[in-house]
Amino acid sequence: MKISTRSRYGLRLLIELARRGGGGPVLLSEIAGSQRISEKYLSRLVISLRGSGLVRSVRGAHGGYVLARPPGEISLREIIDSLEGGPYIIRCADDPASCPASPGCAARSVWGGLEKAMRDYCESLTLGEIARRGSLRPVKAGPKERA
């Protein structure tokens, strides 16, 4: 049930953008470098974030990425929805057609409740609050982390 590197890297990218707010577009290569993430891989992640209207891109020289909205107006839920897509936990919780169980299925109600608990947490956090927390990471040197 682990979250994927997509969400983890994507959140770190957004935190960096939030912290540099106002300084003009940020190069992907800078973020990839400081966060020690593959630039190519990041460049694919960020497409989702742009598609969801969380970041804007500026092409060409002096280009890069900026947040599309103030960080205080971007919820963690939007971020995860954009990066993971679809239901968090289980298909049948959203899509009854995926399972022949009855609507009152006890197991389904358990997973639906878990899904809701997660969404509530994610809805309650904004990128602005997150970015103001402690450090992001040292990230001057050291190996790429393990999953």
The contact set with DNA (CB under 7 A) reads 1-2, 4-6, 9, 25, 27-29, 37-38, 40-41, 43-44, 46-47, 50, 57-65, 144, 147
Residues 41 and 12: beta-carbon distance below 8 Å: no
What are the C-alpha distances in Å from 62 to residues 14, 25, 28, 58, 98? 19, 7, 11, 8, 47
Distance CA 90, CA 93 (A): 6
Q: Which of 59, 60, 62, 138 binds a second copy (CB under 8 A)?
A: 138
Q: Which of a second copy, DNA, none lies near 135, with the C-beta cut-off 5 to 8 A by kind?
A: a second copy
88 binds a second copy (CB under 8 A): yes
* Residue 113's binding partner out of a second copy, DNA, none, with CB under 5 to 8 Å set by partner kind: a second copy
Spatial contact of 144 and 36, defined as CB atoms under 8 Å apart: yes
Tell me the two tokens of residue 90.
Answer: 């289980």
Please give the Cα distance from 67 to 56 (Å, whole number).
6
Kindly state whether residue 42 participates in binding a second copy, applying the rule CB under 8 A. Answer: no
Residues in touch with a second copy (CB under 8 A)? 1-4, 7-8, 11-12, 15, 76, 84, 87-92, 98-102, 104-107, 109-111, 113-114, 117-118, 120-122, 125, 130-131, 133-139, 142-143, 145-147
